[in-house]
Amino acid sequence: MLFNSWIFVAFLVVLLAVVAPMRRYGTPWRVTLLVASYFFYAQWDWRYCFLILGSTIVDYALALGIDAGRHPRRYIVLSVVANLGFLGFFKYANFLLDTAGRVGAAFSLPPFTALDIVLPVGISFFTFQAMSYTIDVYRKELPARRSFLDYALFIAFFPQLLAGPIVRAREFFTQLDNPVRTTFLEARYALVLIALGLVKKMVLADTLALRFDPVWTNAAHASPWEALLAVYAFAFQIYFDFSGYTDVAIGVALLLGFRFPKNFDYPYLALSIQDFWRRWHMTLSRWLRDYLYVALGGNRHGPARTYAALMITMLLGGLWHGASWNFVIWGGLHGAYLALERVLPERWRSPPASRLATALRWLLTFNLVCLAWIFFRSPGLAASGEMLAKVAALPGALPNPGEAARAIAFVAVVLGWQALARRLDLKHAIAARGVAWVACITLALLALAWLTPGKTMPFIYFQF
């Protein structure tokens, strides 16, 4: 069930109508949300509900074991192995077999047969949530949850089940234990998030996808200017797609009484790569920092260990997105960027003193991010090479003022709008003013009716 489908609209309306008269946060309310969440997931493939249930039971039991105090280390290792086992089998088995086959071919060994595995949608997200929970219990930052119902709801809660935001157990359980009703203003804000999230996805991201997908699938026939435009367009497509999804998820959760953490904070306004990662997929960045980077030593053991930890974190962060060398390179590039930023002298890292310096810093950051997107988006390494070659050929290409103007205008308009929206805190401002709210939601509905390309595209992050 996609957020951008009629069946989801019907599902949400019915669910809100059903849970509204219930006493919030009571057992029937929780049971209803859990059943609704499993129903939501079953719309994709009901058999994989058992996978979520299995993962839930395992981590619930292991957390209780950790909390009991006897052999906590043994239980946490079991939990990590179980979760990475789930993830590894469904997500990386064929990648590993393929890689092993390639290595084996060098020694004239027969190739491995690929397994017929369907990647369960959302597995990367709910597995990370489960791991964060058991690790937090192990670190004694959180007591193990006694109520299986609460824990099952934490894992399966449908707004964040398929593509995040990756919510921490403490954040979720605190809200379960200390109920705060959704206010009228919050409901208005939630509807702004949902409406604008759908516009981002269905109008902006899908239009960009349909316009530029042919360039990515056939980069060899694209002109250098087209290639550049396609790279910039993808940067915004994935942002609109993923942040649009997140906005809807946060909005839906808020309507149900849950306040989810922010996942995006105008990332393309970042002035450094570190700044970018504080604004892009913030809940994943936070997860990687707290459970991987810190576990690898963080910056506590000197520069060499810090760079190594950064590199490993970003490489694994890349691999988390998918079993492909392209994602590894994407993560590796970001790791290298972050490490290089740390090598730079302090004056290069401090806030820029002039507007020109700010603009140059932004330009460099944005283009470095876009360079990495080439690997993220291309269907394979060869295609990445073709796209890079096209973009690299730009200085020698015939000047194309039309395409150049379009590329600059496109980036300028979107980023100008972003800067304005950030400065005015536009979504909250709209929610707070009655006329603005009505106008915003009405225009969003009309945009969804008139300006969608007519072809529903799946959310990009569902494949992860």
Partner 1 sequence: MLRRALFLLLPLLIVAALEAAYRAGAWEIAAAPKSHAGETIRMKALWAAYPEPIDVVTLGSSRAVYGLDHAALAAEAQRRGVRHASFALAGSHWMSVRGISRWIEAHRPEVRKRWIALSIADFQFAGNGAYELGIVEPLRSWSDAAWIGEHVRFDSHDVATYGVYSSLMQYRGDMADAITHPTSRLRDLAASRRSPLTRLFDGPHDDTNACAVDTSTLERCMAAPETEATRMVRGQCRSAHASRLGERNLLAAGPGGSAHPDLVAARDMIVRELRQPRWRGNTVVILLPTHALWERELTVQGLHGWVEAMLRPLAEEGSIELLDYTQRFDRDGRSDCTAYLDLYHQNHASAALLTRELLDAAGDRLYAFQAAKASGMPPR
Residues that bind partner 1 (CB under 8 A): 6, 184, 187-188, 191, 434, 438, 441-442, 445-446, 449-452, 454, 456
Report the nearest approach of partner 1 to the CB of residue 120 (Å). Answer: 23
| Residue 371 token pair | 């360079």
Q: Which candidate, 185, 162, 204, places its Cα nearest to that of 437?
A: 185
Residue tagged 């590199």 (tokens): 311
CA-to-CA distance for 80 and 152, rounded, in angstroms?
A: 18
Work out the angle at residue 416's Cα, subtended by the Cα atoms of residues 411 and 422, and round it to the nearest 5 degrees.
Answer: 125
Residue whose CB is less far from partner 1, 50 or 184: 184
Report the nearest approach of partner 1 to the CB of residue 46 (Å). Answer: 21
Report the nearest approach of partner 1 to the CB of residue 188 (Å). Answer: 7
Report the nearest approach of partner 1 to the CB of residue 228 (Å). Answer: 23
Residue whose CB is less far from partner 1, 43 or 456: 456
Residue whose CB is less far from partner 1, 408 or 446: 446
Which amino acid appears at position 175 of this protein?
Q
Residue tagged 């006694």 (tokens): 146
* 221 is a catalytic site residue: no
DSSP string, 231-295: HHHHHHHHHHHHHHHHHHHHHHHHHTT--PPP--S-GGG-SSHHHHHHHSSHHHHHHHIIIIITT
Q: Which candidate, 264, 287, 181, 249, places its Cα nearest to that of 37?
A: 249
Residue tagged 């060899």 (tokens): 220
Residue whose CB is less far from partner 1, 298 or 453: 453
Report the nearest approach of partner 1 to the CB of residue 406 (Å). Answer: 14
Report the nearest approach of partner 1 to the CB of residue 393 (Å). Answer: 31
Residue whose CB is less far from partner 1, 188 or 390: 188
The catalytic position among 71, 321, 334, 428 is 321
Residue whose CB is less far from partner 1, 93 or 187: 187
Q: Which residues contact residue 102 at a Cβ distance below 8 angstroms, ignoring those fewer than 6 apart?
A: none
User: 123-138 vs 302-321: helix axis angle to the nearest 10?
Assistant: 140
Q: Which residues contact residue 14 at a Cβ distance below 8 angstroms, ignoring those fewer than 6 apart?
A: none
| Residue 232 token pair | 């910039």
Tally DSSP H helices, then E strands, for the chain. Answer: 22, 0
Report the nearest approach of partner 1 to the CB of residue 45 (Å). Answer: 19
Element (H, E) at 314: helix 302-321
Q: How many CA atoms lie within 13 A of 265 on its CB side?
A: 13
| Residue 67 token pair | 């909390």
Q: Which candidate, 241, 219, 149, 235, places its Cα nearest to that of 383?
A: 219
Residue whose CB is less far from partner 1, 6 or 50: 6
- Which positions are annotated as active-site residues? 321
